[in-house]
Amino acid sequence: MAGRLHPLATFIFAGLILLFSGGPVLLSLYGSLVPDRVLLSPDQSLWTQGPSFESYRYIFTGQLPDSYNAEGANRAMISDAARQVPRALLNSSINALAAMVLNIILGAPAAFIFARYVFPGKKLSFLYLILSPLVPAVALVTPIYMLLQSLNLVGSALGIILIHTAKALPFTVLILSVFFRKIPAEIFEAAVLDHCNRFQTFWRVAVPLALPSIGATGLFAFMLSYSEFLFAMILSGSSDTRPVSVVMAALARNTDVSWSLLNTAIFIAIVPTLALVILVWRFVVEGLLSGAVKG
């Protein structure tokens, strides 16, 4: 973009954006490192007390923080739900990974066809695909719950994985077809001259060339599944299969739970997403931004 900004103005804008987007996350890191009494008292802070890792220790080992072993401490502030967080992270990761793999397998062929071929019904299929995510999920919840119940998939990870896969597929196809379109047409023409059929062109030429982009698109599906809440909530059963979004919602609705513990749970759940943010930006967004997307 043309135009210059004063360096100071740039600095201030950047600072404001960072504070607005990242501030709440930093606050939760702060909250996780101090016990509740420090949080609640106006003249104590992290800087005077030093960090405390008791809440982290409790979540991973189950050893109660010292302050709750004191007499008269409110035991209701310790919630078992917080201890489910590591397990829930694992569940979420497994779900998201499965959804990601399924998305690539089911979505890549369609994306390839959309990117390289003209066929009857193309526009309609494509429109249907990109408009379907706009149908409100809340309106679909009841019928899908009943459908999966009749298939005996409620309370299992498989139900969540299937729904998340279907929910992410339109995005996978859309993004992947952008990436496939960026491969120079000459390469495909050469493949045809070498007597590759359509499948060989796809499997031997397009997939290897677009492999990094396919991985990046998979990350996007991973992200959608990882953060989905509504279907995860109605379809997950016991605490063994509950994904992290559901456990966090349960923690958030519990008004008694210790703030230190809550913030610790949040921060532990955020760490994988932090890694995800960097990967998604680096591979998906930068890839999309380098041309090919029409506004």
Q: Helix axis angle, 244-253 relative to 259-279, nearest 10°?
A: 150
193 binds other proteins (CB under 8 A): no
Is residue 77 within 8 Å of 258, Cβ to Cβ?
Answer: yes
- Residue 291 binds other proteins, judged by CB under 8 A: yes
Minimum CB–partner distance for residue 287 and other proteins (Å): 11
Q: Least distance (Å) from other proteins to the CB of residue 212?
A: 18
Count residues near other proteins (CB under 8 A).
Answer: 105
CB 89 within 8 A of CB 239: no
> Which token pair is 286?
């930068």
> What is the C-alpha to C-alpha distance for residues 167 and 178, in angstroms, rounded to an integer?
19
Among 60, 68, 203, 229, binds other proteins (CB under 8 A): 229
Q: Which is nearer to other proteins, 53 or 281 (CB)?
A: 281
Cα distance from N-terminal residue to C-terminal residue, the chain: 17
Answer whether 234's CB lies under 8 Å from 3's CB.
Answer: no
- What minimum distance in Å lies between the beta carbon of 43 and other proteins? 13
Taking the complex as a whole, how short is the minimal distance between the CB of residue 119 and other proteins, in angstroms? 4
Least CB distance from residue 55 to other proteins, whole Å?
A: 14
Judged by CB under 8 A, the residue of 44, 64, 97, 116 near other proteins is 116
* Kind and range of the H or E run holding 101: helix 85-116
* Three-state DSSP state, 35: coil
Pick the closer one to other proteins by CB: 1 or 71. Answer: 1
Q: Binding segment for other proteins among 6-14, 43-51, 52-60, 153-161 (CB under 8 A)?
A: 6-14
Footprint of other proteins on 40-79 (CB under 8 A): 40
Quote the tokens at residue 241: 């299969």
CA–CA gap between residue 39 and residue 271 (Å, rounded): 22
CA–CA separation, 161 and 222 (whole Å): 11
Q: Select 78 or 162, whichever has its Cβ closest to other proteins.
A: 162
Q: Does 126 bind other proteins (CB under 8 A)?
A: yes
What torsion, rounded to 10 degrees, do the Cα atoms 178, 180, 184, 190 define? -160
Cα–Cα distance for residue pair 204/145, rounded to 1 Å = 40
Alpha-carbon distance 246 to 241, whole Å? 10
Binding letters toward other proteins, positions 127-166, x by CB under 8 A: xxx-xx-xxxxxxxxxxx-xx--------------xx-xx
Residue 237 binding other proteins, by CB under 8 A: no
Nearest distance from residue 214's CB to other proteins, in Å?
A: 14
Residues 249-278 that bind other proteins (CB under 8 A): 249, 251-253, 259, 262-263, 266, 269-270, 273-274, 276-278
Q: Residue 62 CB, nearest distance to other proteins (Å)?
A: 22
User: Under the criterion CB under 8 A, does residue 25 sit at the interface with other proteins?
Assistant: yes
